[in-house]
Amino acid sequence: MAGHSSTEQDPGLTLTTQQPVAQQRIVDLLQAAWAVFVKDLRIELRTRYAINAMVLFAACTAMMVSIGTTFIGLRRTEEALLIQASLLWIALLFAAISGLSRGFVHEEETRTLAALRLAAPAIAVYLGKFLLNLALLALLGLITSLLFIVLVRVQVGSPLAFLGMLAAGGLSLATSTTILAAIITRASFKNALFAVLAFPLLVPPLIIAIQGTAATLADGGGVVALPALQFLIAYSVAMFVASLLLFRFVWEA
Amino acid sequence: MVQQMAQVGKLLIGLWMAGVTIVMFLVIPQYEGLGNAGRIIIMHVPTAWVSVLAFAISAIFSGLYLWKRNPTYDDYAVAAAEGGFLFTALATVTGMIFSQVVWGIYWNWDPRQTSIFVLLLIYAALFALRSAIDDVQRRRQLSAVYSLFAFVTVPFLIFVAPRIADSTLHPNCVFIQGSTCDGITLDVGKIGLLGDRKIQLIALEREGDLVTAEVIVSEPGLSSETTLRPSFNLATGTMADRPEFPGVRYQLGLEYVDPSITSGLLNIEAPGTGVLDNRITLFTFLASIAGFTALFFWMLNLRANLLGLQWALAQRDGGRV
């Protein structure tokens, strides 16, 4: 509407006013996305469904690994670091799969999808849910790695690179799974299907994330992990852009 | 007229494939060191190519469906995925057989094995998704989205992962014509990488015209070490003894020794090296690729028409009720 009123005025003014209109639209979209995110966060904090499932899963895994391995007293060989990195990412992957579909499935279960469709544009819904998943994964990553450091005696050689790896891995998890959560809301066997759909897309980033994380566990491994970090970020960008383009079709289906 | 052409086409594809099979087993020569097992690549590489082609075609028709909303496009996308799944399974199985016979292990998480495994998983996930959604319209639309979304990962699998991963059984230098494995020149006492193995040249000893190298080869992951002794004939300038790497059927060759006998060029020799140098083999290989591609398109068309017919019948029955 704002666009129309500006074009009806003096034609000389249109050039100068059109840019603010486009900017205004983006700001509106981001505000809507933020509103969706805050609403979901509030619901999540009220029910704590996803957080509980994810953190408990991660804690159980860390406990099991701790019970199984602390007696061995692993030496810090290259293999030991790879094993520790694999176990960490296994815990993260399955914890994430148990909770990340919550954002959309919840809307279907409480029958609020139609209302959400009326209230916000598709992209804003996607961005809101994506932010929620990102926040959940950040929390999950921090808690899980703390548990591994304490219980499994993982020693982090280059903490900054390790955090970067965790963030990049979490980013690729969130970008590849958010749109899948929207796809499965209308299907039967939702949770099993979510894992089935997500796994093939997560194989490439997880291989890289495990190798990269193993490198950051070693002392001074930050530089070695750089290509892995680049790969994960490129993967996330590709998946994010594809999600933005495709989400419209999922949302209107 | 069109039907007759289709009949003729069908017959031609059948004859063509029969010809390829006969040539594959009876005409082309055995490869040195591989025996009859080497013939399987005439089937393996084309099926692998078709499985990737099918995936691309499925994604293209999925995109067309989302754009035009014509159910026929969805039929083609499904048909391509189904054909692709079949060919992916064939490529995996033939590859595993070849790998076992030639290199001594069925499965190694080689980058190419990883990517074909992911491809199988994606197809399986696509079928699982389709069977889990009841509403036809929604099923078509959502599976088209998943197909396209999964296709985004392909460039990462094909181009990036093999470059990052450092372990492969699939040396391009072995099978792609015109390319060679470069090998590595080492001074005595120095350490180098050959494929995914660390090697160290301990000594070069001369006995008459024969120079024997003592090389310590470490397994990937440095779990164990073995000493191999390849040799080089100075008089003829050719490799003499080529010992095999432990556990696989690659050989370690000493390709060259400098006149002062202080350094040597070490290289991997796979039993299939130069497979496509033979002209008959190369043409059979190309004919096989063409035949399999034609076969796939014929299957695609047939299956898509069948799906369209099924849909039309279901609609007519539904209309009557």
Q: Give the DSSP letter string of B260-291.
A: TSSEEEEEEE-TTTTGGGSHHHHHHHHHHHHH
* Six-digit token string for A83: 């094993």
**Tokens read off for A25:** 């639209």
In a domain, A16, yes or no: no
| Residue A151 and residue A62 in contact, taking contact as beta carbons nearer than 8 Å | yes
In a domain, A173, yes or no: yes
Q: In chain B, what residues touch A78 (CB-CB under 8 Å)?
A: 221-222
Segments in chain B forming alpha helices (H): 2-22, 41-68, 71-103, 111-132, 136-151, 154-155, 161-164, 172-175, 279-320
Q: Look at B121 and A186 and tell me if their CB atoms are within 8 Å.
A: no
> At A9, is the pLDDT very low, low, confident or very high (cuts 50, 70, 90)?
very low
State how far the Cα of B271 lies from the Cα of B35, in Å rounded to an integer.
10
Structural domain contains residue A105: yes
State which amino acid sits at residue A52.
Answer: N
Residue A86 clears pLDDT 60, i.e. is over it: yes
Range name among A65-79, A101-115, A147-161, B55-69 with the lowest pLDDT average: A65-79
Closest residue to A193, CB basis, from B132, B138, B153: B132
Nearest beta carbon to residue B132 from set A179, A188, A253: A188
Domain-located, residue A77? yes
* Cα B48 from Cα B36, distance rounded (Å): 20
Task: Please report whether residue A81 resides in a domain.
Answer: yes
Q: Which amino acid is at A95?
A: A
**What's the domain range around A177?**
33-252
Q: How far is A41 from A130, CA to CA, in rounded Å?
A: 12
Kindly report the nearest CA distance between residue A128 and chain B, in angstroms.
Answer: 20
CA torsion sign for A169, A175, A176, A177 is positive
Q: Check whether B173 has a pLDDT greater than 50.
A: no
* pLDDT tens per residue across span B187-231: 888 887 666 567 888 888 888 888 888 888 876 556 678 888 888
* Residues of B engaging A, defined by a Cβ cutoff of 8 Å: 66, 114, 117-118, 121-122, 124-125, 128-129, 132-135, 137-138, 141-142, 144-146, 148-150, 152-153, 155-157, 160-161, 164-165, 221-222
Task: Identify the residue among B85, B145, B218 best suited for mutation to test binding to A, counting A beta carbons within 10 A and taking the highest.
Answer: B145
Exposed/middle/buried for residue A226 (C-beta within 10 Å: 0-12, 13-18, 19+): middle
Task: Return the SS3 of B201.
Answer: strand
Contact (CB, 8 A) for B272 and B177: no
The first and second tokens of residue A171, run together, are 């980013």
Q: Is A16 exposed, middle or buried (0-12, 13-18, 19+ CB in 10 A)?
A: exposed
Under the banding of pLDDT at 50, 70 and 90, the label for residue B270 is low
pLDDT surpasses 80 at B131: yes
> Is there a contact between B215 and B202 (Cβ–Cβ < 8 Å)?
yes
pLDDT (average), residues B277-306 = 88
B155 Cα distance to chain centroid:
16
Tokens of B120: 């199988």
SS3 content of chain A, % helix, strand, coil (to 5): 85, 0, 15
CA B120 from chain center: how many Å?
14
CB contacts of A79 in chain B (<8 Å) are 221
Left if phi > 0, otherwise alpha if psi is -120 to 50, otherwise beta: which for A159?
alpha
How far is A4 from A93, CA to CA, in rounded Å? 48
Contact A207 B114 (CB under 8 A): yes
Residue A250 CB neighbours (<10 A): 26
**Which residues of chain B make contact with A253, given a CB cutoff of 8 A?**
137-138, 141-142, 145
The DSSP element (H or E) to which A9 belongs, if any, is: none
Burial of B316 (0-12, 13-18, 19+ CB in 10 A): exposed
Cα–Cα separations (whole angstroms), residue B310 to B133, B142, B199, B305, B321: 18, 20, 61, 9, 17
Give the count of domains, chain A.
1
Of A98, A99, A97, A70, the C-alpha closest to A84 is A70
What token pair was written down for A64?
A: 């099991």
Q: Sort A119 into a burial class: Cβ within 10 Å, 0-12 / 13-18 / 19+.
A: middle
Does residue A80 lie in a domain region?
A: yes
| pLDDT of res. B142 | 94
Environment class of A125 (CB within 10 Å of its CB; exposed 0-12, middle 13-18, buried 19+)? buried
Contact B271, B253 (CB under 8 A): no
CA distances from B68 to A244, B62, B72 (A): 19, 10, 10
In-domain check, residue A1: no
Least confident window among A81-90, A142-151, B78-87, B244-253: B244-253
What's the gap in Å between the CA of A183 and the closest CA on chain B? 6
Q: Reply yes or no on whether the pLDDT at B273 is more than 60.
A: no
ipTM of the complex: 0.85
| CA-angle at A152, arms to A151 and A158, nearest 5° | 110
Residue A24 lies in a domain: no
Q: Phi and psi dihedrals of A220, rounded to 5?
A: 65, 30
Chain A residues within 8 Å of chain B (Cβ atoms): 78-79, 179-180, 183-184, 186-189, 193, 196-197, 199-201, 203-204, 207-208, 211, 227-228, 231, 234-235, 238-239, 242-243, 246, 249-250, 252-253
Task: Give the H/E segment covering residue A168.
Answer: helix A159-184
Contact present, B241 and B230 (Cβ < 8 Å)? yes
Instruction: Count CA atoms closer than 13 A to B180's CA, side-chain side.
Output: 6
Confidence band of B177 (pLDDT split at 50, 70, 90)? very low
Give the total residue count for chain B. 321
Closest by CA position to A234, among listed A210, A204, A213: A204
Give the contacts of A24 (CB within 8 A, at least 6 positions apart).
A2
Considering chain B, what is the average pLDDT of its residues? Answer: 81
Nearest CA in chain A to B120: A200
Say if residue A8's pLDDT is above 60.
no
Alpha-helical regions (H) of B104-135:
111-132
The helix (run of H) or strand (run of E) holding residue A209 is helix A190-217
Q: Which of A2-16, A88-102, A151-165, B266-280 has the lowest mean pLDDT?
A: A2-16
- Tokens, residue B60: 């293209």
Nearest to A204 among B135, B148, B156 (CB): B156
User: Which of these, A158, A182, A173, A172, lies nearest to A253 by C-alpha position?
Assistant: A182
